Structure 1
Amino acid sequence: MRNPLRQLWILVRAALVLAAAMPPAAAEPTRLAQTLLTRPDVVDDLTPGGGREMRPYPNDGAHPAQNPPSFRWRRGKTGDVYEVRIALESGEELVRFSSANLLTLKEPLPPGTHRWRLRRWPAFAAPLDWTGTRSFTIGPDIRRRSIENPADAYARAAERKRPRLLPGEPDRSLLIADAYIGWKRAFFDEVAARTGAPPLALPRNEAALGAGGVDQLSREELVAFRREIRGSVNRVMRLLHDGLIVWVVTRHLRDDRFGLDQALAAADWLTELDAFGATSNQAADLLNLRVAKALAVAYDIAHEELDGGQRRRMLTAIENRVQQTFDAYVVDDSRAIAAYPYNSHGYRHVLGILSIATVLAGDTPRARTWFEAAYPVFIGLGNPWGGDDGGYANGVNYGAWEVLNNLAYWDAIRSATGVDYFEAGWAREVSVFLNYVIPPGAPNSGFGDGAEDYRPYVWAETARMLFERTREPLAGHLYAGWRRLIREGELDASELQEEFASWTFLLGAGQPPAPIDTGGASARRLPGAAVFPSIGWAALHSDLADPDRYSILFKSSPYGSFSHSHADQNSFIINGRREPLAIDSGYYDTHKSRHHLAWTTRTEAHNAITFDGGKGQPWDDIGARGRLTRFTSCPGYDAIAGDATEAYAGQLAAAQRTIMYLRPDQVLVYDHLVSATPRRFEWNIHARRRMEPTADGGIRLAMDTGRVCIRQIAGPESGFGQTTDFPREPSKRLQPGWQPQWHGRYTVARPTTSADWLFLISLDCAEADVGEVAVTAGGYRVRIGDRIAHLGPSAELAVPAEGPADPGQCHAPPKRELIAGIREVDDDTSGPHPPAPDARSAIRRLRIGN
């Protein structure tokens, strides 16, 4: 029987630790990566032969966001060794040898501009020639990251006492107190209520998951069938996590096994699944590894409650599942993540393998093998879908989904080894990216699969969980802003019901609570425009701090149309007053559905350039890329230029677009198009509702409160038409609530080999005094009101009427000093947590259901 005095002490201690929790000291300022837009990378042996191969980093001119930086490059043959030389600005040279094509230094580099190169040593042969030299700059304020070598990190995990997935004291008591008497109490009560609901009902086992006739199903039917399987397994994994949460939090408060028995019954059900059947890596690779991770959580947390037979069965099931993923994504040369990192599932698999290896370290020899292969990729790759500016090329919809899934892996690695992913450059900068792409009030999430969805609860919780782990005030601000809007709209948590969510929310962060910026001070310090060169996105806002803002998002991406990106280089969208106006059309009913392939992914479904009846850029091609060529943000205007010529795969000799935002309400869009063959060029625009004609010959895109007016003010003679037709409609089964959309198109009157189009978009349909439009050597010169704008494909982007802009007032990307100090706790911030109760009231409240 448990000692009641000990229980009392645990309660009092938890309450006192919570009351004493203080936010961490402010660190150096957050910054946007100062990556140059115009410098091409060095072309040499490190240059990928295929678009999906590892790209060299730091690329020439890079400004890494962490110190020490990671180095990576195209992989050679198995058995090659790489000699890396880093020439420091001081004249000193560092020499390192690596058997992998990734290298992370253990010690930080001094500030300055340094250079690196390497040469390959093939097995039993003389070394090859040196590659070209790439320079990179380490700024004086770059955050330092602690790096462990693989042997030390593994040894730390193996020596860690169980449960390894929970932090040591006092943070463990803080987590429990926060869930039980802190601001997370309401969420814990939901978990406890689910856990206490009798009787435990597990779905039928393998027979229900292996229904025959799969080969006769259409793609949509197959997706639905797999979703049913995933739903059954996810419900069991949720029972497992919920039961373990309640047991961890209440085990010192009760004399029974409340929650534990449910968790172990769910673990037995998962253990009995055929690891090589309907939930295998081949059939459902993500689900396979999540089952392994769920079993690893149970193995670790309930380790002392398991008998020898249970441990062996559970360990065997985990090994069988992880080994399949390891063989497919780490060992197999045809898709090993170290060679081909641009796999939408591959990086997450590496994280899953590594996190499970830390949990099993010392219990199976396979754990060391998995760890030693996955750890260098984890440390050296960072995030294959973005760079040091925090961008995510597959879009916010998939970015949030990946963060929410990967948090459980990152948390486990940090808890077991002490190696903190949240010190990495991408993890610290992603909150800046999210503030620009999904600021509170945004009606969608920009570009890519699923970007049309409005998911405020998911976005808010993503920001909150990032804040808990990084302490970035911008993440806290984003969470607080969305929570205010969610309360107004009475949304609930039903959008976020993954089986791992409860564990990640309640017991994953491993850090004490801290104040969150609820007053918006962080956003008020951010400039209205930003660029994210690593993924080729830009965001121009009328007022970033105002939910009723107008926003222009632009994309010209080096990731092309690959994976969950679309064939939409040099496209834009416009949102206004919390409504989508100029939209990315189409729906993401499922990946590679009939509708997805016939419309959603195609260039003509976007506000982009096509020709000859909708011809455009190829899809699922990482080589069909664009690039940002200029970005300038000055008082009174912002300008962004992109070159999508390469994206058209030789069909066009030039495809360049410039967007200039003349604040507060006028936008100029200039297109420079050239073709060796006469084309009927098309300027596409899409909306939720019918586009109405305006008196000046333009069109109006309007929702309930937001509206924009568009008209051509220069360029070839063009006609306009619109339709609601989709080549293939979305699946009613997978996208039951889809609505028709309107697809508008300006088409040149006759085929031509070149076109220089100029359109004016008036936000809120504000009146615009358009003066003389003159053709210049590089494009157009136009007067809008009392301002004169010069637009060209890439060179002189913009000049205000009063003459050349003062370089000291312009920035590209936003200057570091413009957001300096954001990491400091602002005066108008307040914590999301209620005041900590005294010990007496804490004891009264620490009862389930109270």
Structure 2
Amino acid sequence: MPAIQRFLTRALIALPFATLTAGVAHADWVLSTEPEAVRPAPSNYQIQPQNPPAFAWSRYPSKPPQYYIEVSQNGQVVYTFTADKNWYLPSKAFPVGHYSWRVRPSTIAQWSTPREFDITANSTVFEVPDNSSLRSFVATKPRQVARQLPNNFVPKSQWTPAMLAERKPALDALINEYTYRNVKTVNDADWPILTSGTTTSISTASAADIRTRVNATARQVEAAAMLYRLTLDKKYLTEAITRGDQLANLNINGPTSFKYQDQANRQIALTLIKATDLLYYDIDATRRQWWWNVVDARAQQIYLDLSANGDRIDQYPYDSHGGTNLGFLALISTLSLGNIKNSGLWFDFSVRSYINSVYAWSGPEGGFANGTAYGQYTADYALQLWQPLMAATGVNLFDKPWARGFMQYFAHFVPPGSTSHLFGDENETVPDFRMLKSYAQRFNSPYAAWYVKSISGTEDSLSALMAPYPLPYTQSTPVQPPNAALYPSIGWVAMHSNLSDLKRTSLYFKSSPYGAYNHSHGDQNGIILFSGGRKLLGESGYLDYYNSPMFNDWYRQSKAHNVVTYDKGIGQDVTGNTATLAKNGKVTAFSTTSALDYAEGDATPAYGAAVKSALRRIWYLRGQDAVIVQDKITGAVAHSWEFNVHAAAPITYNSDNSLTITNVDRSVCIRPLLSAAQMPVTYATRSGPAPKPGTYEAHGAYATPSTLSGEFLMLLDVGCKRPSVSMSETTTSRTFTIGGQTVTVPK
């Protein structure tokens, strides 16, 4: 079995590689010409990680009231469904087999082009009951047992010795946090409403202050309410009520409204409904109704936004805040079902939709195109939302194949010992392994058990005290994930010398169909290199504030990344979300063995009309701890092409046209593999903005003379071992022997 198929079968059920570049046979109405519209799925003979699969398609232009879906097998229709939205999630699993499906509007007999998919024995059964069944399940849970808590939840006085051993440290930590945390009273007057619509450092700071202080008060409410449920100490009840009143008193149309700070708005609504759920019989009816009224008003703002323009989130799912807001609405509606007038409307709109769509930032195998920093924040939200949703609805989102793939994505791209995030906004920040460990602990998986065992950090005390007992990861024997991995729908590749070795080499490659959309950057075909936790080749710049001059002119630009640019820093198109989603990249080849990993990316669309072809190939020679990078790029007219190098330590230029980068005790040497006659390139130092305080950055680039087509063929020698290199060539390829390992590179 080929290496890529072994990996995808063992680690995560995903697309067979042959389907990665397969196109739809005939374009039809379900495939919108708008880059931001939802793509039809399943398609391209995909093996479905989830059984039953989720169906999706772009809307028919006239927006019919219903759609009819036919699923066929061996030329016979075996399922028919009716949907009132442009997606459908069957409630029951399909038998193993090969299927095709098509859809048509209820108003006309225009079927879509059939698309085919497979359900295999490796497809995970993940069944979600229909809305009426879910509502009935929620209603069966008595209010004496909070809907958001596991059925086996008991106060501390009833903990077994084993539970005491596992959970008392978390209880002590939460009590200590509650006791010594200085939470300032929140007040509308502290935040003048900024209505200019212009993003500045001042407006960004004001929005951040609202978010930070509301989150701090919300945390105190939830911590106090949970401590009261565990200990029955009245002081915690008093604190929860006092802080809850402060949140309820904030003006729903003021600076914490959806219009001005949607994150604060959703957090207030969720916190108040969580508190009334935990303290249902412990707060008076008048206050409870007051809090419910506030939740009603704030959650309705979320609903009106997501349901605007015929349920916009269904047609245009690539909305970072909108996708998270949908999850908040799902939990708010679940915990308020039967108590708030609009809760049933919200519930039917959001719960199955959220469970179905988590998340738009990758395909069904998991991953996160917006970068690992925002992936980390999403994992934190998952703990806040999925755990109580599971207790209330009986649907465990941690069992969803996407969720398991998301966990494995962290193991590959934020492995043990990582010192910074990767790709996209806030890539310069340090990972918070507490969040990642907490998320991984929810999986009964050998890879999750390995990740939990291998990373540092203690789980957040509040989420730990609300977790199911025992934690699922404890049921599995740890197994290290493969050293190399492709996540095809986001176009990310990880190559490690040994995931379990903190001194390892880690090489990351990205060529993403998401382009520079949302929190992503113009870094298609980009590479990042670490050794022993030291960054050798990295991304440059930092997020001072969103939409700042540095953000627009450097941080997101190709010239700030280890990619090819031309004519002194001109690179990929990062202007406008709609344009950048279409101007993207893709991984077109991947393989892995114990000795050699290989990936190829095509970033041609990312550069726009100026570039006719932009391919990068990388080979990681695991036995030699060395990397070969080949770039081949062709323009519409002649350009000086540039191989950019960004380092977290000084770059030393050597007399043989090579570079040396040494970061404390780790180094890499970079040298051209072709002679000056074969590849006439010159190296020059480049300048960039001042780095983040406390860090160091160096920039440079190898450049070609002005030419229609350029090629770079470089050796990255990790550890500067300077292995012997020999080359033989034919008319179609060059074969390099590097320190005893041979690699053939196409011309």
TM-score (norm 1): 0.81
Q: Distance in 2 between matches of 1:180 and 1:227?
A: 38
Q: Choose which of 25, 31, 56 in structure 2 pairs with 1:47.
A: 31
Q: Does 1:597 align with 2:548?
A: no
Counterpart pick for 1:188 among 171, 174, 180: 171
Name the count of aligned residue pairs. 725
Structure 2 residue aligned with 1:258: 235
Q: 2:652 aligns with which of 668, 676, 692?
A: 692
Structure 1 pair 278/85, CA: closer, same or farther in 2 (3 Å)?
Answer: same
Q: Check if 1:642 corresponds to 2:601.
A: yes
Cα distance in 1, alignment partners of residues 672 and 564 from structure 2: 15
Match 2:266 to one of 258, 267, 289: 289
C-alpha distance 214-414 of structure 1, shift in aligned 2 (>3 A): same
Q: 1:771 to 1:110 in 2, by over 3 A?
A: same
Alpha-carbon contact 2:148-2:335 (below 8 Å) kept: no
Question: SS of the counterpart of 2:71?
Answer: strand
Q: 1:164: Cα distance to partner? A: 3.4
Letter in 1 for 2:686: T
Q: Please list the CA deviations of residues 788-809 of structure 1 after superposition, one character each: whole Å capped at 9, or x if unmatched.
A: 422238xxxxxxxxxxxxxxxx
Q: Distance in 2 between matches of 1:227 and 1:274?
A: 18
Task: State the AA in 2 paired with 1:669.
Answer: V
CA deviation digits over 1:29-53, x for unaligned, max 9?
7534244323234532222321111
Q: Work out whether 1:154 is the aligned partner of 2:127.
A: no
Give the conservation status (yes or no) of the 8 Å contact 1:150–1:372. yes
Give 1:510's aligned residue: 468
Query: Aligned letter for 1:312?
Result: Q
Query: 1:318: how far off?
Result: 0.4
Q: CA deviation at 1:90?
A: 8.7
Q: Which secondary structure does the structure 2 equivalent of 1:291 belong to?
A: helix
Residue matched to 2:84:
99
Could you tell me how far apart the structure 2 residues matched to 1:217 and 1:616 are? Answer: 27
Please give the per-residue CA displacement for 1:317-337, whole angstroms capped at 9, x wherever unaligned: 00111111111122344x821
Counterpart AA for 2:255: A
Q: Which residue of 2 aligns with 1:742?
A: 698
Amino acid at match of 2:468: G
The answer for the alignment partner of 1:802 in structure 2 is none
1:753: Cα distance to partner?
0.6
Distance (whole Å) between structure 2 residues aligned to residue 517 and residue 669 of structure 1: 42
The answer as to 2:543 corresponding to 1:588 is yes
Q: Distance in 2 between matches of 1:322 and 1:555?
A: 38
Between the aligned partners of 2:468 and 2:615, the Cα distance in structure 1 is 48
Cα separation, partners in 2 of 1:747 and 1:342, compared to 1, 3 Å: same
The 3 A distance-change label for structure 1 pair 341 and 216 is closer
Cα distance change on mapping 1:170 and 1:676 into 2, 3 Å: closer
> Matches of residues 428-827 of structure 1 in structure 2 within 5 Å?
428-455=404-431, 458-467=432-441, 469-483=442-456, 502-507=461-466, 509-513=467-471, 516=474, 521-523=478-480, 526-619=481-574, 620=577, 621-664=580-623, 665-694=625-654, 696-714=656-674, 715-726=678-689, 729=690, 737-748=693-704, 750-774=705-729, 776-777=731-732, 780-792=734-746
Structure 1 residue 373 displacement after superposition: 1.2
Tell me how far apart the structure 1 counterparts of residues 158 and 728 of structure 2 sit (CA, whole Å).
67
* Correspondent of 2:159 among 177, 185, 191: 177
| Residues 773-801 of structure 1, C-alpha deviations (whole Å, 9 max, x = no match) | 53633x543333444422238xxxxxxxx
Residue 738 to residue 315, structure 1, CA distance change in 2 (3 Å): same
Taking the aligned partners of 1:776 and 1:433, their CA distance within structure 2 comes to 40
- 8 A contact 1:175–1:511 mirrored in 2: no
Q: 1:208 aligns with which of 190, 198, 221?
A: 190
In structure 2, C-alpha distance between the alignment counterparts of 1:175 and 1:400, rounded to whole Å:
34
Q: Which amino acid aligns with 1:610?
A: T
Secondary structure of the 1:447 match is coil
Classify 1:561/1:289 alpha carbon distance in 2 versus 1 (closer, same or farther; 3 Å).
Answer: same
Q: Answer yes or no: is the 8 Å Cα contact 1:102–1:376 preserved in 2.
A: no
Q: Secondary structure at the match of 2:288?
A: helix
How far has the Cα of 1:579 moved from its partner?
0.6
Alpha-carbon distance between aligned partners in 1 of 2:519 and 2:180, rounded to the nearest angstrom: 40
User: Counterpart of 2:304 in structure 1: which amino acid?
Assistant: D
Given that 1:659 and 1:669 are in contact with CA atoms closer than 8 Å, whether structure 2 keeps it comes out as yes
Match of 2:58 in 1: 74
Cα 1:431/1:776, change in 2 over 3 Å: farther
Shift of 1:270: 0.6
| Alignment pair present for 1:315 and 2:292 | yes
- Describe the SS at the equivalent of 1:305: coil
Which piece of structure 1 moves more, 166-175 or 134-143? 166-175
Give the direction of change, closer, same or farther, for the CA distance of 1:216–1:652 in structure 2 (3 Å limit): closer
Residue 3 of structure 2 corresponds to: none
Kindly tell me: are residues 650 and 203 of structure 1, through their superposed partners in 2, closer, same or farther at Cα, counting changes over 3 Å? same
Q: Which amino acid aligns with 1:534?
A: S
Match status 1:111 vs 2:87: no
Quick one: which amino acid aligns to residue 389 of structure 2?
Answer: I
* Alpha-carbon offset, residue 353 of structure 1: 0.6
**1:91–1:460 distance in 2 versus 1, CA, 3 Å:** farther
> Structure 1, residues 151-187: CA drift from partner, whole Å, max 9, x if none?
1112222342224334454344699838972333223
**2:569 is matched by which residue type in structure 1?**
G
1:297-324 residue CA offsets vs partner (Å, 9 max, x unmatched): 1111111122221122111100111111
Alignment CA distance shift 1:213-1:571 (3 Å): closer
Mean Cα deviation higher: 472-481 or 296-305? 472-481
Code of the aligned partner of 1:66: Q
- Amino-acid identity (%): 26
> Could you say what secondary structure the match of 2:438 adopts?
helix
SS in 2 for 1:383: coil
Task: Name the CA shift for 1:353/1:217 in 2 (closer, same or farther; >3 Å).
Answer: closer
Deviation of residue 290 (structure 1)? 0.8
**Residue equivalent to 2:401:** 425
Within a 5 Å distance, the mapping from 1:259-278 to structure 2 comes to 259-278=236-255
CA distance in 2, matches of 1:316, 1:514: 37
> Cα gap change, 1:229/1:622 in structure 2, threshold over 3 Å: closer, same or farther?
same
Deviation at 1:345, TM superposition (A): 0.8
1:341 to 301, 317, 322: 317
Unaligned 5+ runs, structure 1: 1-27, 487-492, 794-850
Please name the residue that 1:86 is paired with: 71
| Residue 281 of structure 2, aligned match among 304, 321, 331 | 304
Counterpart mapping for 1:362-373 below 5 A: 362-373=338-349
Q: Structure 1 residues 257, 579: closer, same or farther in 2, change over 3 A?
A: same
CA–CA distance in 1 between the matches of 2:169 and 2:75?
56
The alpha-carbon deviation at position 263 of structure 1 amounts to 0.2
Residue 347 of structure 1 aligns to a residue whose secondary structure is: helix
- How big is the shift at 1:342? 0.4
**Could you report, residue by residue, the CA deviation over 1:188-213 in whole angstroms, capped at 9, with x for unpaired residues?**
21321343469x9652522223x367
